[in-house]
Amino acid sequence: MTKIVNYISEAFEELKTNVTWPEWAEVQRFTIIVAVFSVVFALLTWGVDELFAKSIAGFFNWLKS
């Protein structure tokens, strides 16, 4: 059990001393970029899905005729 506690305390110490954290403004900017990209990607995926759904429905309606 002491090995686990030692590992966790050393990991936190490493995070405090050796990791270079970004500035808060940079984190906010990247968060906005990721959010915008996620929305755009979701809309594109939805659009392609709708296009294929209508294409397949049209194809099967054409086969029925």
In a domain, 33, yes or no: yes
Q: CB neighbours (10 Å) of residue 61?
A: 9
54 located within any domain: yes
User: CA–CA separation, 1 vs 5, rounded Å?
Assistant: 7
Q: How much of the chain, in percent, has pLDDT values that exceed 70?
A: 100
Residue 60 lies in a domain: yes
Structural domain harbouring 44: 23-65
pLDDT at 65: 77
Confidence of residue 42 (pLDDT cuts 50, 70, 90): very high
Q: Which amino acid is at 51?
A: L
**Per the structure block, which two tokens stand in for 34?**
């990721």
Q: Which residues, other chains included, contact 22 with Cβ-Cβ below 8 Å and sequence gap of 6+?
A: 30
Domain total in the chain: 1
- Does 50 fall in a domain? yes
Please check whether residue 15 lies inside any domain of the structure: no
